[in-house]
Amino acid sequence: MPQSFKLFKPFAMLPAALGLALAAVAPLPALAAGPNAFDFVAMGDMPYNPPADYEKVDRLIARINASKPAFVVHVGDMISGSVPCTDANLEASARQLDAVEAPLVYTPGDNEWTDCHRARGGGFEPLDRLAKVRALMFPAPGRTLGKSPMSVETQARAMADRFGAYVENVQFEKNGVYFSTLHITGSNNNSDPRRPTALAEFAARDAANAAWMERAFAAAIAGGAKALVLAWQANVHHKWDNSSAYSPAFSRTLNGVAQGARAFGKPVLIVYGDYHFFEVGRFPGMDDKPIPGVTRLQVFGDQQVHAVRVTVDPDSPGVFGYTPLIAPENGSP
């Protein structure tokens, strides 16, 4: 991540985070839930320190499988930015994810492709690496990964006339709650003025993401959804060049969330990674003020090889609950 960025002042964590120490040694608690409730698991930003982390990720996946979620959402960065983006390294991380028993919904991160032009990333052409990621992680567009894949709607088919390349942007519904992934990455979303090809790629993908988000909110409204979940990789609240403003590379995303949430009027959850620590809080817009009804969940990552169990109860007012899913042998968060 460029040094010109800094993290915005974090909001207070919700009480679920206070159970970290207990969660590391106790079985997952049975959470109060209605007849339509279900769990999903959110994870990302791992393995960062191979080969030692391969064993840790295997342990975490075993823990995830034992919790029997409806599905798993992986928010990208399946390698570290310090690991070369070779076919072998990408394939090693991807093959670990084959052990996930539930449907696995994956959205790409920057370390898999946008950062690969750097020396430590191996000096690859990013668009070549993006093609590799798409072929590796989306071999059957409209079907998730995991041992029990499920059908999803993909932008590559739903908007084939304009956005036929974006197999990674998907939408699906579960018990009245709508889900959508968007391909929004760290490292300033690949908006790099030093590289014209990066700027062109960013502009095209930014337009695709905006259209897909608008469609997600429209579908949730038309379908009478109880809530909407959006998942991507980047922490979009970067400060630009140490200024007080968020990066313009994420303005379309932030404005889209604000506009869509106002029209929807029901709970919206944003799931992402990027900064490698578990946090739940309010989600600010471009004006740095929290957007009403929108909550953000940042997942563990890097040295914290853990995940988050999200309980979804469509019949409860808040809809979402959060429990750290800790693999105790991987160390305390």
DSSP 39-84: EEEEE-S---STTHHHHHHHHHHHHHHHH--SEEEE-S--S-TTS-
Specify burial of residue 18 (Cβ count, 10 A radius: 0-12, 13-18, 19+): exposed
Give the pLDDT band (50/70/90) at residue 33: confident
Where is average pLDDT lowest: 21-25, 165-169, 245-249, 320-324? 21-25
Name which residue leads in pLDDT, 277 or 16: 277
What is the reported pLDDT for 49? 87
Locate the domains of the chain by residue range: 15-330
- Cα-Cα-Cα-Cα torsion 40, 217, 239, 303, nearest 10 degrees, comes to 10
pTM of structure: 0.90
* 71 band by pLDDT with thresholds 50, 70 and 90: very high
The fold for domain 15-330 equals Purple Acid Phosphatase; chain A, domain 2 (3.60.21)
**Res. 240: pLDDT tops 80:** no
If phi > 0 it is left, if psi is from -120 to 50 it is alpha, else beta; for residue 217 that is alpha
Q: What is the tens place of the pLDDT at every residue in 106-138?
A: 999 999 999 999 999 999 999 999 999 999 999
